[in-house]
Amino acid sequence: MPEFNFISILVAGLIPNILGALYYGPLFGKPWLASLGYTAEDLKGRNEAIIYGSALVLSIWVAFFIKFITEMIHKNVSDGGELVFGSFHNFGHGALHGVGLAIGFVVPVIICLGLFQKSTPKNIILNAVYWILCFALMGGILDAWN
């Protein structure tokens, strides 16, 4: 089994919350709300602790599996025939794996949900780009911080 640096997994798990605060806040908050047909007033009265706490736990879960999948991809066979994990690690390579995972798994799910929920194309694009960025940063951190 590959080795895991759980500190890097926790740090990578923070990325969606940190990036989300910027992305869905000052950067694209107004277009995102408009794409949903909401105003900032509509979001008041939610239980923010449960929302952000759950998002953090789930982001850590995602980070663990990004690391697991990336490590399974990073295997070579030694001259002795043994599996060697962690054969190539740097930020760019991990970011590439993150983007690949996002485009291969997350973006299709976002598009399918968006189509069934009658989301606007703007909403689908905003969410897809956000998760591609998150997976790229998470993958980069997880691969570089081995």
* pLDDT at position 3: 76
Q: How many CA atoms lie within 13 A of 68 on its CB side?
A: 7
Taking the model in full, what pTM does it have? 0.89
Q: What is the pLDDT of residues 82-101, one digit of tens each?
A: 766 655 788 998 999 999 99
Query: Residue 125 CB: number of other CB atoms within 10 A?
Result: 17
Distance between start and end Cα atoms, the chain: 14
Both structure tokens of 53: 């706490």
Q: Where are the domains of the chain?
A: 6-144
